Amino acid sequence: MVAPALYRHPTRSELIDLAAAEGHDADIPSNIGSLPEDSRHTTRPSISLHEENNHAAAREKDVEGGAKPGSISSTNEAEEEPDNDPDVVDFDGPDDPENPLNWRATKKWGMVALISAITFLTPLASSQFAPGVPDVMRDFHSTDQMLEGFMVSVYVLGFAFGPLIIAPLSEMYGRLPLYHSCNFFFIVFTIAAAVASNMDMFIIFRFFMGCFGGAPMVLGGGTIADLIPREQRGTAMAVWMMGPTIGPCVGPIIGGFLTVAKGWRWNFWFVAIVAGAFFIMSLLLMSETSGVIILQRKTNRLRAETGNMKLRSKLDSGLSPTDLFKFSIIRPTKMLFLSAICFAISLYIAITYAYLYILFTTFTAVFTKQYGWHGGIMGLSFLGLGVGSLVGQFIYIHYGNKIVNRHIQRGDFRPEHRLYVMTIGGFFIPIGLFMYGWSVHFHTHYMVPIAATGLIGFGLLMTFMPATTYLVDVFTIHAASAMAASTVLRSLAAAIIPLSSQTMYERLGYGWGNSLLGFIALALVPIPFLFIKFGERIRASSTVKL
């Protein structure tokens, strides 16, 4: 069947949610269609004429329109049946076995588990060898403190640049080739880092580890959205999100004991071995899930069988590779520098995320000099961050969703309701920094600074998660570009700011050094309060054009 009867038409909110999960803007097709930029595409999901006219006008004037009261609910969204064009290739009804949503449960959840495991490993590799940094410096005969921090944070610099290329390539060639190629090169550069013979080689290989290691974070959300129905997706997304949030905090705990037992190079051999096992499993178990690619292959097959060259995929966007790269790079740049909301929220995330890597790059020196810790026990100094982050994630999921659902039921939901949790979480970061700095300065019991870093980890998650979802709700069809802008700024800050951390501590001491970070974090606290009060007015007066 080429043009089957429409079995259930997607609503605007479903299209936006799925596109955000897949990591692209909603004017680029996902498995259920797209919200078009103009009328040149004949195959598109339809929305009400009134809604589409308003939406088109908003695109010309404003990309910060956000969700209006009640707009999260799709019950009032008008839907039209599109014309059945015999030349349009679609899935053959709701039970088509080619549709990833209809695959058997064991295959779907097996892929989700594998993707979540890979997404946990690559962020874990960003910080696992942190306890072994002094050994690396000794082996490479370096005393440069800037390099000492940069060898850890350069991995995150790769996170900034790799996804900008990976995202548009996945739209052109599908998710599976990008998973396999990026996993392969991640293993290659991990092994290269393990055998590096000088500092320059090591840093370059770490950078490329980050570039390719970012692939599962770019592709994972979309794959889960391809496989799991919307109403069952929450658990899978929560498990998958633990990778980038908890992985960097768990890595050093493993690395501390592994460095003592086998040397710092074995941190990389460990990652390469596990990644190699995941790579083999992915070759055997993973299949292409992108509806765009599946339907394009079906179209090509039917063209060859029927000779009808007019056949076209329902999800064909007609976008050239140049357009895809433009949307991936130019849009986020414009949004970052021209949108007050995007810039302020991204700046908040970037600075607080940089604090995480300041701690990663200095924990070893702090607990060695102040508490005399050595050997494998050094990895336990990261335990507070890990536990605090984990608690923060669970509390946000529970209370953040509870607050939002309450407003959705009332019909008065605004994107700013996402920020209520952030207003609380923001205070934990400066409190934790003050407590950490002065407890280390006065040599209090080691549990005090570890508990303080738990507060920091808790605050980081309680600001990072609501800020990210706020960007999705504010920018709707351009949510992926907003998140890409935030990711680039966050990664650049996490790679560059920690370079001066050792010098800061030498000149100011641990007490005043961390107090300086705390005062900066305290100055950022009003941002969510301001947007709760004025965010809707700012969005209404926005003139950002893409």
What are the pLDDT tens digits along the chain (546 aa)? 444 444 456 666 666 666 666 666 666 666 656 665 543 333 333 333 233 333 433 443 445 655 444 333 333 333 344 456 777 877 777 778 888 888 898 999 999 999 999 999 998 998 888 888 889 999 998 888 788 888 888 998 898 888 788 878 887 888 899 999 999 999 999 999 999 999 999 999 999 999 999 888 888 888 888 888 866 776 777 778 778 878 888 888 888 889 888 999 999 999 999 999 999 999 999 999 888 888 888 888 888 888 888 887 777 767 777 777 777 778 888 888 888 899 999 999 999 989 998 998 888 888 988 888 887 788 888 889 989 988 988 888 888 878 888 888 888 888 898 899 999 999 999 999 999 999 999 999 999 999 999 999 999 989 988 888 888 888 877 777 888 888 889 889 988 998 888 889 999 999 999 999 999 999 999 999 999 999 888 888 876 666
Q: Are residues 270 and 323 in the same domain?
A: no
Q: Are residues 323 and 188 in the same domain?
A: no
**Separation in Å, CA 218 to CA 44, 119, 139, 159, 321:** 25, 10, 35, 10, 18
Q: Are residues 230 and 338 in the same domain?
A: no
Would you state the pLDDT for residue 22?
64
The reply to whether 54 falls in a domain is no
Domain interval for residue 472: 319-546
Q: Are residues 231 and 191 in the same domain?
A: yes
The reply to whether 83 falls in a domain is no
**β 312-313/88-89 pair status:** parallel
Q: Are residues 159 and 224 in the same domain?
A: yes
Q: With 0-12 CB in 10 A as exposed, 13-18 as middle and 19+ as buried, what is 250?
A: buried
Check if the beta carbon of residue 296 is closer than 8 Å to that of residue 318.
Answer: no
- The separation between the first and the last C-alpha atoms of the chain, rounded to the nearest angstrom, is 38
CATH of the domain at 279: 1.20.1250.20
- How many domains is the chain built from? 2
Q: With 0-12 CB in 10 A as exposed, 13-18 as middle and 19+ as buried, what is 302?
A: middle
The reply to whether 283 falls in a domain is yes
The reply to whether 406 falls in a domain is yes
Q: Are residues 110 and 192 in the same domain?
A: yes
Check if the beta carbon of residue 258 is closer than 8 Å to that of residue 267.
Answer: yes
The reply to whether 267 falls in a domain is yes
Check if the beta carbon of residue 422 is closer than 8 Å to that of residue 467.
Answer: yes
3-class state of residue 406 by DSSP: helix
The reply to whether 9 falls in a domain is no
Check if the beta carbon of residue 490 is closer than 8 Å to that of residue 349.
Answer: yes
- Please, which residues bridge with residue 33 across strands? 30
Reading the block at residue 436, the tokens are 């950490």
**Separation in Å, CA 425 to CA 371, 419, 460, 486:** 29, 10, 7, 19
The reply to whether 358 falls in a domain is yes
How many Cβ atoms sit within 10 Å of the Cβ of residue 44? Answer: 20
Residue ending a domain, among 287, 303, 329, is 287
How many Å separate Cα 232 from the centre of its chain? 20
Q: Are residues 324 and 281 in the same domain?
A: no
**Separation in Å, CA 460 to CA 20, 393, 456, 466:** 22, 10, 6, 10
Reading the block at residue 459, the tokens are 């605050």
Q: Are residues 263 and 133 in the same domain?
A: yes
Would you state the pLDDT for residue 209?
94
- Please, which residues bridge with residue 313 across strands? 89
Q: Are residues 105 and 221 in the same domain?
A: yes
Check if the beta carbon of residue 43 is closer than 8 Å to that of residue 88.
Answer: yes
Would you state the pLDDT for residue 515?
96
